[in-house]
Amino acid sequence: MSVGISGMLVVVGLIFGFGSMVCCVNATKFDELFQPSWAFDHFDYEGELLKLKLDRNSGAGFGSKSKYMFGKVTIQIKLVEGDSAGTVTAFYMSSDGPNHNEFDFEFLGNTTGEPYSVQTNIYVNGVGNREQRLSLWFDPTKDFHSYAIVWSPKHVVFLVDDTPIRVHTNMEKHGLPFPKDQPMGVYSSIWNADDWATQGGRIKTDWNHAPFIASYKGFGINACECSVSVTAAENVKKCTSNGSNRFWWDEPTLQELNVHQSHQLVWVRARHMFYDYCTDTARFPVKPAECEHHRH
Ligand SMILES: *[C@@H]1O[C@H](CO)[C@@H](O)[C@H](O)[C@H]1NC(C)=O
């Protein structure tokens, strides 16, 4: 399937003269990209909509069939309506193994009428502890909104409806590790986390309101697909721009946020962010090294 799609892209690329730009799986159908990982009986398919259910017995989760290096993954989600206290819906990319990398969106439910919180986190070489939390500028339970992760050799950007809410910049020049040599899968799941998720764990899941349902549509992966049959080093080579090949994320204009996006990020941080590990001096008496270099 993806061969056909990349073939088509090559043709489109030739017609429109992208020249040597190479790309990508660029697919949008759930079945082409993903498969259920657990609790198959907690999935409902309604045309283009997918619903994941959480009840007393189980949550549910799905994952991408392939792994990728660099690109953009997008999903539209409508979060659990009404009482979602104690539930967490996550959308993330992750590699495998003890030194894994991970980029997380975690949507923390709340009691009826109280706002969801969005937690993001980044693991590099198996180490996380880079949480940020924000409120949203809309009610994420009323409509579908798009949540995306852009991953390039230069940065990781988290986007909500195309507004950047977080940028994690490659600071290898300051001696800090950056995730860029492990293929990552794309995952989503809903589960019960009432020991910590809502108001610090004080509010428990009310199972009388189950099933809790998260709805999905608009799946998109525009990324370099890795082959399972070759070594990590070969995948890195395949997915890295060189003289004859160039990926869209290596375009000079995409190496950092544009002016408009920078303003959006400043606005999000000023108006909506209420926790940033970088400023949590109780937890980190010594400021984490990457925070020293953050421009925002
Ligand atoms: C839930 O609502 C309370 C009260 O508005 C708020 O303090 C909290 O940040 C919200 N989110 C979570 C996940 O508890």
Q: What is the CATH number of the domain that holds 132?
A: 2.60.120.200
pLDDT score of 27: 72
Strands 87-94, 49-54: parallel, antiparallel or unpaired by DSSP?
unpaired
**Amino acid 234: pLDDT:** 92
- Rounded to whole angstroms, how far apart are CA atoms 246 and 36? 33
What pLDDT shows up at residue 10?
Answer: 43
Query: What distance in Å separates the CA atoms of residue 259 and residue 283, rounded to the nearest whole number?
Result: 33
Q: Which residues are 145's β-sheet partners?
A: 77
User: Contact, 54 vs 191, CB < 8 A?
Assistant: yes
- DSSP letter at 21 equals B
C-alpha of residue 129 to centroid of ligand 1, in Å: 21
Mean pLDDT computed over every residue of the chain: 91
Indicate if ligand 1 lies below 6 Å from the C-beta of 199. yes
The percent of residues above 70 in pLDDT, for the chain, comes to 91
Cis (ω within 30 of 0) for the bond into 24? yes
Among 21-25, 61-65, 184-188, the minimum mean pLDDT is found in: 21-25
Q: What is the pLDDT of residue 57?
A: 97
Q: What is the pLDDT, as a whole number, of residue 4?
A: 46
Q: How far, in Å, CA of 64 to CA of 124, rounded?
A: 20
If you measure from the C-alpha of residue 274 to the centroid of ligand 1, how many angstroms do you get, rounded to a whole number? 11
Which run of H or of E encompasses 38?
strand 34-38
| 21-30, 116-125, 186-195: the lowest-pLDDT one | 21-30
Total domains in the fold of the chain: 1
Distance between Cα 113 and ligand 1 center (Å): 10
Which structural domain, as residue segments, surrounds residue 123?
Answer: 2-293
Which are the catalytic amino acids?
Answer: 102, 106
For ligand 1, pick from 107, 112, 134, 198 the residue to mutate: most ligand atoms within 8 Å of CB. Answer: 198
Asked whether 203 lines ligand 1 (CB < 6 A), one says: no
Is the model more confident about 40 or about 293? Answer: 40
Beta bridge partners of 146: 76
Q: What is the pLDDT of residues 201-242, one digit of tens each?
A: 999 999 999 999 999 999 999 999 998 888 888 998 999 888
Residue 128 has pLDDT above 50, yes or no: yes
Say yes or no: CB of residue 117 within 6 Å of ligand 1.
Answer: yes
pTM: 0.91
Residue of 11, 184, 174 lying closest to 96 (CA atoms): 184
User: Which candidate, 148, 155, 150, 149, places its Cα nearest to that of 180?
Assistant: 155
pLDDT number for residue 7: 46
Interval 269-285 mean pLDDT: 97
Over 60: is that where the pLDDT of 11 sits? Answer: no
What one-letter code names the amino acid at 103? F
Lowest mean pLDDT among 56-65, 95-104, 124-133, 284-293: 284-293
Q: What 3 state SS string does 123-190 have?
A: EECCECCCCEEECCCCCCCCCCEEEEEEECCCEEEEEECCEEEEEEECCHHHCCCCCCCCCEEEEEEE
Ligand 1 neighbour 126 (Cβ under 6 A)? no
Residues in the chain: 296
| pLDDT for 19 | 41
DSSP 174-231: GT-----SS-BEEEEEEEE-TTTSSGGGTSPP-GGGPPEEEEEEEEEEEEEEEPTTS-
Cα dihedral 139→165→196→288 (10° resolution): -170
